[in-house]
A and B are shown apart, each in its own frame.
Chain A
Amino acid sequence: MAAPPLAGIRVADFTWVWAGPYCTLQLGYMGAEVIRVETRNRLCVTRHMTPMADGKAGPNRSGYFNQYNQNKKSVSINLQSAEGRAVAQRLALASDVVTNNFAAGVMERLGLGYEELRKAKPDIIMITMSGFGETGPLREYVAYGPAQVPLSGLSALTGYKGGPPLHAGFSYGDPNGGIHGAFAVLAALYHRARTGEGQYIDLSQWETSVAMVAEGVVEYQMTGQEPERMGNRDHWMAPHGLFRCKDMAEKIAGRSIDMWVSIAVANDDQWRRLAAAIGHPQLADDARFATLQARKHNEDELEAIITQWTSQRFAREAEQALQRAGVPAAIASTNKDLFEDPHLNQRGFFVEKEHPEVGVRKHLGPPWRMSRTPSGVERAAPILGQDTDDVLTTVLGYTAAEVAKLREAGALT
């Protein structure tokens, strides 16, 4: 049996919230030993966030934390205390990779700066995934994922026609920064494997977000105009939108749930198939709709005709009828749809591991499968400080008595 891709790689993980934890989640999926440094004095924001298992609050009950910290170990170290910082430093130096997503300068102030670590361990790899990067006039500015969406230009390009800039609907800057960070760390590990050299990686979440807006940046230069917001429409495809279906069959917590189907027609052949599927085969050759140009010109009318058909159906029915006809279509899934989706369940996307406090919950695993090397989720997210004693004694070589003394001194809170 082959070893996991990152077997033997240890990560001292000083990240928190979402961007950094999403980075180290990937490394954990591939078998790295990820040790998250936490403190009771300042809990990770996501340990506070809803939903809490069964509505009962507690730092180990957050679905958000438990999703993005699977596989990881948790040690609680008080970085405000000198003894705590010494433990953290020892952990960093026992690791191959040190990760953080603090603003510029914070790791240095904690005695965990790259230059200092490198003196003791020249091949160490360190990544800082800050909001603005380590250099430049705004380097000390702070950024949260939700604010990265407007900052990156994505909001300016997203919105209904004629309406204001809107959002992505989630803190896109966070997972996007984190996943790019994971790639950077892997590139550095690959380089280290070949040459023995470590290095420092400076990742700006702002920049990783702007990298996702490249077409907008280039369009502005190529045309001299800011791209216009156009809802769900597309210059090169029509129809291209989300169409109202019947509400979900059951009410959830007494509320009816609006449901939608997305349809994207990439060429005239698909348009003919769509016209037939919605019971209007004669529209295929109708001058108003026969070509992309005509469909773009009469898009309001086109959308109204499609809505007449979708609004009388459940979203799943519309999706299946259109897919059968050879038209790209999919429901706008809710979390419940994903949870119950037969495809995802059959593919083994979900992970069900016993968590010490919330039991078994159906979490998401990696969005890929490797044919040869083991990967995925070995254990549920840790409860706060679950591995403190274990890591200090087995990884860092402290004796039980030393651990007790550190705890008494308040270094392990």
Chain B
Amino acid sequence: MSGPFASLKVVEVGELTSAPYAAKLFADLGADVVKIERPGAGDRARHRGPYPKNEPHPEKSGLFLYLNANKLGVTLDIFKPEGMELLERLAADADVLIHNMSPPDMDRAGLDFERFSRRNPRLVMTSITPYGLTGPYRDRLAEELTIWSQGGLTYLNGAGPDTREIPPLKVFGQQAGYQGGIHAAVATAGALMAQWRDGEGQHIDVSVYEVCASQLELTYVYWPYAQRVASRLGAKPVQPLEALECRDGLIFLCCVEDHQWKAFVELMGHPAWTDEELFRGRGRRTANWDAARLFVQEWLNEQTVQDLYHKAQAKRIPFAPVSTMGDLLNSDHLKARGFFVEIDHPQAGAYKYPGPPFKMSRTPWQLRRPAPALGQHNREIFGGRLKLSDAEMAQLKHKGVI
């Protein structure tokens, strides 16, 4: 069985997370992805780690190895005219070109949809940029932290009430990058449906800023609906919805619906305090949670995390443990589903990485090859596909184009 995108050719000009993740989603479902990196340094993700034994090495970055498995890798300097010409030739034969070059860099390199489209009208070109291709912030600089913040997501996170001087908190990792990537992949796949139908491509303009704002749950709408600023310092819309200490660690309590709270009350042995007027109903329980928490905490002091987790779930209460990385790798459930996949890379070694994010019954996720070494497939792509001679390749190498 081959993937749903087995016939698809994708060219990626990607750095760090967003475009590489978008292209990875297609590669893992069978697409032929050629990843283009800068000669010399390569993708920024090669320089971020994590690394085996914390020793930096551009072929051993865990982030890079995760995001770029299943791809072919070439080096190409598209800021040089010969480099851009080769990119155009690669894209002339492709279904999708996906990149996350910033708009000023696009201008500088001449990475222009009209130009690519003239040569290949079928091409879907997806531009993932911090702020989008239009608007007053188009040319602004951004990093993961600043775009996640501008999108409104750090303002919601961090320490609780009475801690106004503790900064809002960024969540771990490259979440703006991942979300930029998956949202871009969705729009790209939509454009492929149109391409399948009528044979025409188009340009997709993905703004990571807007992607972040799209995740704001109920907090954005607090302004247009209630003229209130939603803040990490404010009360939660429902309680309990937080991690508290058991005897041996943290458990996340979660009672969004009333039946869940009732089941939790039962699990606690129906203590008298839960019948108090103060705590009856979602609204009052939430408003008076500071008081209720004291009672709950007293009970939790006698509980252990795993035992409470399973007891609660048996009553359909959606509590969860606070998993460590070790917990995830050792989870019997994730093992039974074959979630983690070992990728053996010739230089970095064998590690387990997250595998299929969903299981398709007919067109499964597949691991075909580890991430490419920098320029590993130059000969295969430039010689094999673009039919450059050895002499031409040597000359391009000499000029620093490949």
Contact = CB atoms under 8 A, between A and B. Distances in A.
**Among B52, B65, B165, B325: residue with most chain A CB under 10 A:** B325
B221 A66 contact: yes
Interface stretch (B168-176, B266-274, B394-402): B168-176
A159 B169 contact: yes
Given A169-B171, A330-B147, A338 B220 contact: yes
Interface stretch (A72-80, A145-153, A276-284): A145-153
B236 to A, nearest CB: 9
Contacts of A204: 337, 339, 358
A198 B4 CA distance: 11
A253 interface: yes
Interface string A257-292: 110101110100000000000000000000000000
Contacts of B351: 218, 221-222
Contacts of A219: 49-50, 62, 325
A135 B144 CA distance: 35
Interface stretch (A173-181, A293-301, A382-390, A398-406): A173-181
Interface in B116-165: 131-132, 134-137, 140-159, 164-165
Contact of B145 (A186, A216, A264, A344): A264
A361 B223 CA distance: 10
Given A153-B328, A226-B325, A199 B333 contact: no
Interface in B198-244: 198, 200-211, 213-233, 237-238, 241-243
B29 A347 contact: no
B130 to A, nearest CB: 9
A181 B155 contact: no
Contacts of B231: 257-258, 334
B279 interface: no
A135 B336 contact: yes
A40 to B, nearest CB: 16
A188 B193 CA distance: 11
B187 interface: yes
Contact of A213 (B172, B213, B218, B361): B172
A164 B171 CA distance: 13
A131 B318 contact: yes
A343 B190 contact: no
Contact of A232 (B145, B252, B323): B145
A101 interface: no
A333 B324 contact: no
Contact of B257 (A45, A208, A240): A45
B167 A260 contact: yes
Contacts of B153: 168-170
Contact of B62 (A203, A218, A262): A218
A379 B150 CA distance: 28
B5 interface: yes
Contact of A186 (B154, B193, B233): B193
A343 B136 contact: yes
Given A146-B241, A219-B325, A371-B203, A333 B65 contact: no
A368 B354 contact: no
B219 A170 contact: yes
A149 B156 CA distance: 14
A172 B215 contact: yes
Given A220-B329, A361-B225, A147 B49 contact: no
A207 B353 contact: no
A154 B171 contact: yes
A166 interface: yes
A190 B325 contact: no
Nearest to A248: B229
B183 interface: yes
Tell me the dominant secondary structure on chain A's binding face: mixed
Contacts of B166: 160
Nearest to A147: B320
A344 to B, nearest CB: 7
Nearest to B343: A218
A262 B145 contact: yes
Interface string A131-148: 111111110011110111
A10 B170 CA distance: 38
B196 A194 contact: yes
A323 interface: yes
A144 B237 CA distance: 14
A329 interface: yes
B70 interface: no
Nearest to B136: A343
Contacts of A54: 225-226
A242 interface: yes
A331 B155 CA distance: 9
Contact of A51 (B54, B183, B221): B221
Contacts of A375: 190
Contact of A157 (B29, B173, B190, B220): B173
Given A332-B149, A333-B152, A371-B113, A155 B220 contact: no
Given A137-B336, A264-B144, A328-B143, A186 B49 contact: no
Contacts of A314: none
A263 B213 contact: no
Contact of B152 (A46, A179, A337, A373): A337
Given A222-B51, A364-B213, A323 B141 contact: yes
Contacts of B230: 334-335
Nearest to A373: B194
A39 to B, nearest CB: 15
Q: Which 3 A-B pairs have the closest CB atoms?
A: A169-B157, A63-B221, A218-B62
Given A218-B66, A367-B213, 17 more contacts: A5-B194, A26-B186, A133-B359, A136-B332, A146-B241, A153-B328, A169-B157, A172-B171, A201-B359, A207-B354, A213-B172, A222-B51, A222-B351, A338-B151, A342-B136, A367-B211, A373-B190
26 contacts: A49-B237, A63-B225, A137-B336, A153-B324, A160-B166, A169-B232, A187-B189, A201-B359, A203-B358, A212-B175, A214-B62, A217-B352, A219-B49, A219-B62, A235-B48, A236-B47, A240-B145, A258-B231, A262-B154, A332-B149, A332-B168, A335-B216, A347-B132, A364-B214, A371-B204, A372-B201
